[in-house]
C-alpha cells in the first residue's frame, strides 16, 4: 500500500488525509502542536468547498455541527445598505450551499473521519530526505518516518516549502485583523445573513455559525508588528468601531477579552512549482492568501480532493499532475483576494465614497457572476 506523510493537521492537512485515505492510501499526519485546538475563529465555506466536502462524505457532519447557510449584506460603516444577496440566490447561482462554520467544528468533523492513530501530535518536522525509493521525514525529537511521498500542509511558514525553494518572508498586506466568537444573548443578525461593513482603512464582518454563536472580524490599516494598546484588544476594537453600525459593537462587547485573537495579514507571491520528486505542497504552504474572498480553507480543500484524484501511474508524475491542475487556479485566487483587500482597506475618503457608489450600482447578477468562476469550480 502507498504511504503518504502529511506535515500539518490544519484544515488542509486533515482534508488531504481524508481524501487520500478514501483513495486507499495509508496516511500518517504529523502535527507540531501538542493538541488540536482552534480558538475563536470562524471560516467561510463557499460552494466550491461544500461540494468537495460532500464528495468526501463529511458535509453532513459539518452541517450537523452547527454550520449555517448564509447570504450576504454589504453596508457602509454607518449601516447604509450597499448590496444584498440572499442565501437562496447564492445557492441557486453556485449550485451548492455557502456555509459559515466554527473552524473547530470543521476540524473535528475531518478528524473524526480518520482512523484512530492517523494524526500524531507533538511532532515538529525539521526536514526530509528523498530518493528514488521513498522519502524519510525527520522530526525535532530525533524520530524518522518513511513514506512514499510527503505533502507539506504546514502553513504559511512551511518547513517543507523552505527546504524545497528556500526561505523567504511572507508579504505583509498592510493591515491587521482581530477575530472573535460572540456567544449567547439576543440575535444579532437575521438568520442566513453574513454582514460586511466597509469603513475607511477598516472593515468589519459578522456572521452566525450556528448554536447561538456569531463569528466576527475587524481590520485596520497598520504598520507591521504594531504594538497592542495598553487598554487591551477589546477596548482598542471598540474605539476603532466608535459610531459604527450597531451589530458591530454589540458583537465585540459580547466577546471575552481572552477570546479575541489578533494577527497581521500576510500572503505570498504565487509559486510556479509546488514540488520536487516525491514532495509537494498544499494549502497555505503552497498559496497563502489574504482572507478577503473567504477562500483560504476552500482552496486547501480543493487541493486535497484533486491530489487524491491524481494518484496513479507513479508517485512523482502523480504529484506533478496535481500541481498542474492546481497552480494556476490557486494563483488566480491569491491575486483576486489581494485585489479585494486593497479595495476594502481603502483609506482616502473620496476613494471610499467612489468605491461604495460603484458597488451600490453593481447589480446582484453582475456580483454573482464575478464569484461564479471561483465557486462553480469542480475539484
Give the model confidence (pLDDT) of 84-114 as tens digits.
988 888 888 888 888 999 999 999 999 999 9
Q: Is residue 67 part of a domain?
A: yes
Q: Is residue 25 part of a domain?
A: yes
Mean pLDDT, rounded, for 299-311: 98
| Unique residue bearing C-alpha cell 461540494 | 51
How many structural domains does the chain have?
1
Secondary structure tally for the chain: helices H, strands E: 12, 18
Q: Is the pLDDT of residue 189 over 90?
A: no
Q: Is residue 34 part of a domain?
A: yes
Q: Is the pLDDT of residue 234 over 80?
A: yes
Give the model confidence (pLDDT) of 195-204 as tens digits.
999 999 999 9
Cβ neighbourhood burial of 267 (10 Å; 0-12, 13-18, 19+): buried
Q: Record the cell numbers describing residue 305, joined without a space.
A: 480532493
Q: What letter would DSSP give residue 281?
A: E
Containing structural domain, residue 311: 3-170+267-375
Whole-prediction pTM value?
0.95
Backbone torsions φ then ψ of 67, nearest 5 degrees? -60, 140
Nearest to 360 by CA among 93, 73, 44: 73
Angle at 36 between CA 32 and CA 41, to 5 degrees: 115
What span, in angstroms and rounded, lies between the C-alpha atoms of 289 and 292?
A: 8
Q: Record the cell numbers describing residue 136, joined without a space.
A: 524519510
Mean pLDDT, rounded, for 5-21: 97
Q: Record the cell numbers describing residue 78, joined without a space.
A: 454607518
Q: Is residue 176 part of a domain?
A: no
Q: Is residue 125 part of a domain?
A: yes
**Ordered DSSP codes for 184-237:** SSS--S-TTEEEEEE-SSEEEEEEE-STTEEEEEEEEE--TTPPPPTT-HHHHH
Helix, strand, coil percent content, the chain, rounded in steps of 5? 40, 25, 35
The confidence score (pLDDT) of residue 372 equals 86
Q: Is residue 221 part of a domain?
A: no
Domain containing 325 — which CATH number? 3.50.50.60
Q: Is residue 94 part of a domain?
A: yes
271 and 328 in contact (C-beta within 8 Å)?
no
Give the model confidence (pLDDT) of 59-84 as tens digits.
999 988 877 788 889 999 999 999 99
The confidence score (pLDDT) of residue 218 equals 98
Q: What's the mean pLDDT when you consider all of the chain?
A: 93
162 and 22 in contact (C-beta within 8 Å)?
no
The confidence score (pLDDT) of residue 237 equals 97
Backbone torsions φ then ψ of 349, nearest 5 degrees? -55, -40
Q: Is residue 336 part of a domain?
A: yes
Amino acid at each position: 500500500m502507498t504511504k503518504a506523510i502529511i506535515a500539518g493537521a490544519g484544515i488542509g492537512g486533515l482534508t488531504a488525509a481524508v481524501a487520500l485515505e478514501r483513495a486507499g492510501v495509508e496516511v500518517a499526519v504529523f502535527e507540531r502542536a501538542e493538541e488540536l485546538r482552534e480558538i475563536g475563529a470562524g471560516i467561510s465555506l463557499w460552494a466550491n468547498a461544500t461540494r468537495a466536502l460532500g464528495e468526501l462524505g463529511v458535509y453532513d457532519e459539518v452541517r450537523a455541527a452547527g454550520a449555517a447557510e448564509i447570504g450576504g449584506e454589504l453596508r457602509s460603516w454607518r449601516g447604509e445598505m450597499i448590496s444584498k444577496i440572499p442565501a437562496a440566490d447564492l445557492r441557486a447561482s453556485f449550485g451548492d450551499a455557502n456555509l459559515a462554520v466554527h473552524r473547530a467544528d470543521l476540524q473535528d468533523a475531518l478528524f473524526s473521519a480518520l482512523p484512530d492513530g492517523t494524526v500524531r501530535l507533538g511532532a515538529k518536522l525539521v526536514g526530509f530526505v528523498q530518493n528514488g525509493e521513498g522519502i524519510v521525514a525527520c522530526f525535532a525529537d530525533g524520530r524518522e518516518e518513511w513514506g512514499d511521498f510527503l505533502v507539506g500542509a504546514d502553513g504559511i511558514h512551511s518547513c517543507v516549502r523552505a527546504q524545497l525553494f528556500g526561505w523567504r518572508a511572507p508579504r505583509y498586506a498592510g493591515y491587521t485583523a482581530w477575530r472573535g466568537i460572540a456567544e449567547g444573548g439576543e440575535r444579532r443578525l437575521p438568520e442566513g445573513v453574513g454582514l460586511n461593513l466597509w469603513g475607511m482603512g477598516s472593515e468589519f464582518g459578522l456572521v452566525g455559525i450556528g448554536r447561538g454563536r456569531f463569528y466576527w472580524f475587524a481590520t485596520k490599516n497598520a504598520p507591521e508588528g504594531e504594538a497592542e494598546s495598553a487598554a487591551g484588544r477589546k477596548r482598542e476594537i471598540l474605539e476603532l468601531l466608535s459610531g459604527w453600525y450597531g451589530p458591530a459593537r454589540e458583537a465585540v462587547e459580547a466577546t471575552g477579552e481572552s477570546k479575541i485573537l489578533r494577527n497581521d495579514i500576510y500572503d505570498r507571491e504565487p509559486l510556479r512549482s509546488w514540488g520536487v520528486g516525491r514532495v509537494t505542497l498544499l494549502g497555505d504552504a503552497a498559496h497563502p492568501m489574504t482572507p478577503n474572498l473567504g477562500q483560504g480553507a476552500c482552496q486547501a480543500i480543493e487541493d486535497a480532493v484533486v491530489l487524491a484524484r491524481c494518484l496513479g501511474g507513479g508517485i512523482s508524475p502523480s504529484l506533478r499532475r496535481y500541481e498542474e491542475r492546481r497552480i494556476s487556479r490557486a494563483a488566480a485566487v491569491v491575486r483576486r483576494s489581494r485585489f479585494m483587500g486593497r479595495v476594502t482597506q481603502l483609506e482616502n475618503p473620496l476613494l471610499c465614497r467612489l468605491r461604495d457608489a460603484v458597488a451600490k450600482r453593481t447589480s446582484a447578477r453582475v456580483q454573482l457572476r464575478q464569484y461564479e468562476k471561483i465557486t462553480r469550480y469542480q475539484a
